[in-house]
Structure 1
């Protein structure tokens, strides 16, 4: 039987991605307790083509870019997004990538 977890979303449908925040995410124990070990970073982007909805994209490892002044446009390499259902049957989304880059690194954000 096909599950909602089996479906992948085409990243092209998100359009432009504007970086709004960068925050670490941590390793958890099997007992679901957070440790102090950083597993990677979550890059939160706003989506102008989708009424500025936001999505956070997880990337394992070191922080790849610094949060710049303003709101720079970014692109993700190896980007994957999928839907899942929580315990209350709400459909939610999760996203991960291999890397992130600034679209115009030399240009001042507007």
Structure 2
């Protein structure tokens, strides 16, 4: 069984990684795929990206708090796994942009 503390650390690290890679990608001229974040960035600037991640972790905290202790690991994994995929995808797009590749 994966310790809950480790999953929280992973979720927070991935949220920070998502914010950093999203800001980097946007700075390179890549589009934001999430329409909600795209609209927030258009209206509030890049500060919306890390703020959205703070809200994401806060929402995860509220959801986990509502779940019985024995069932928290799957709930946290439901946040960690997609977040890891998003960061990996962002990194792939950044590497492609830096290398001059096009989709």
Q: TM-score, normalised by structure 1?
A: 0.24
Greater strand content: 1
Q: TM-score, normalised by structure 2?
A: 0.25
Which structure is richer in relative contact order (CA contacts within 8 A, separation 6 or more)? Answer: 2
